Amino acid sequence: MGNTASCCVSSSPKLRRNAHSRLESCRPDADLSREDTGCNLQHISDRENIDDLNMEFNPSDHPRASTIFLSKSQTDVREKRKSLFINHHPPGQIARKYSSCSTIFLDDSTVSQPNLKYTIKCVALAIYYHIKNRDPDGRMLLDIFDENLHPLSKSEVPPDYDKHNPEQKQIYRFVRTLFSAAQLTAECAIVTLVYLERLLTYAEIDICPANWKRIVLGAILLASKVWDDQAVWNVDYCQILKDITVEDMNELERQFLELLQFNINVPSSVYAKYYFDLRSLAEANNLSFPLEPLSRERAHKLEVRGASAPGAGALWCLSSAPRRFLPLCRCQTGTGVLGPIGATSHF
């Protein structure tokens, strides 16, 4: 704290003002370079380049960085389009609806109130691409996420449990079961994906057939506590997954938080980026959100919502929908690291 050397790129504003006043009092000659004067002040472009480098490796922290799941899906999407072009097949079986002068088609999903079912489908698809297109050389596998060491059920784990990639439907059923039983919101699903990619980046691990269930479970557990005002306790997940213990859930949450370096903040710009990238992923994989004709009642609601917006500069407003909570039996002390309600994220 008292050291003059700092790990930050630039000093505090107060120090910069003091340094500026000292430099103005003794201006060097114009023909001397920066190296000769000894004033090695960092140019603003150098700081921006450093930020850009950090942005590439931390997409869950920076709104301009490309999401990992979208980049991993590009190869498969291009191969699908190439195959359809060679075989002269139409790009999709679903008839697309287009707006006209008399009818406007809109889906019921917005950045502040996403469609729950299709958001979970998109998140499951993103996790599927993470597993399928992981690093072929393999990265470190942490014991806390290994399903063989910490099984979620009492049934015997097959010997080749780490060899076969799960299908998208299997991932969707697992996530959908947790969200339905705990009555979590669609926004929580997006935050879950943010924490998942942040874990893979910070801990430098890959999600694979051997650990995907426990990584997803840990991300959902943390996202539900950060996002929902009335979060589900750890002991409640033991009622959903009958064979898991409260101690295991607490340890999973604790190590997940440590691997995230306790960075649970999700800025609104990062949240919006993940939402729109999920929509791009859905469109590229023919997973379209359901379109309905714009009715008079809904048009009036949109007009009222737009008129009551705080201003054009605001990106979006948080959903005012009440948080739902499924009361379950709490016969043990399973509040976990963040407690029964948890921290409130700074959106």
Highest-pLDDT range among 56-60, 89-93, 262-266, 315-319 = 262-266
How far is Cα 73 from Cα 137, in angstroms, rounded to an integer?
Answer: 19
Residue at 76 is within a domain: no
pLDDT value at residue 58: 82
The pair phi, psi for residue 140, each rounded to 5°, is: -60, 135
DSSP 96-128: PP---SS--EEES--SSS--HHHHHHHHHHHHH
For the whole prediction, is pTM greater than 0.85? no
**Number of domains comprising the chain:** 1
Q: What percent of the chain has pLDDT over 90?
A: 38
Residue at 191 is within a domain: yes
Q: Bigger pLDDT: 235 or 43?
A: 235
How far is Cα 210 from Cα 131, in angstroms, rounded to an integer?
Answer: 10
Give the CATH number of the domain where residue 245 resides: 1.10.472.10
pLDDT value at residue 4: 45
How far is Cα 340 from Cα 205, in angstroms, rounded to an integer?
Answer: 29
Residue at 252 is within a domain: yes
Residue at 141 is within a domain: yes
Residue for token digits 């697992």? 174
CA nearest 152: which of 221, 77, 105, 91?
A: 221
Range of the domain at 142: 117-270
How far is Cα 144 from Cα 205, in angstroms, rounded to an integer?
Answer: 12
Task: Give the model confidence (pLDDT) of 161-181 as tens digits.
Answer: 888 899 999 999 999 999 999
Residue at 136 is within a domain: yes
How far is Cα 13 from Cα 259, in angstroms, rounded to an integer?
Answer: 32
pLDDT value at residue 47: 42
User: Lowest mean pLDDT: which of 7-11, 37-41, 185-189?
Assistant: 7-11
pLDDT value at residue 77: 62
Q: Is 73 exposed, middle or buried (0-12, 13-18, 19+ CB in 10 A)?
A: buried
Alpha helices in the chain (DSSP H): 13-25, 34-37, 44-57, 68-86, 116-132, 168-182, 186-203, 212-227, 234-240, 246-259, 268-284, 296-307
- pLDDT band for 194, please (50, 70, 90 cuts): very high
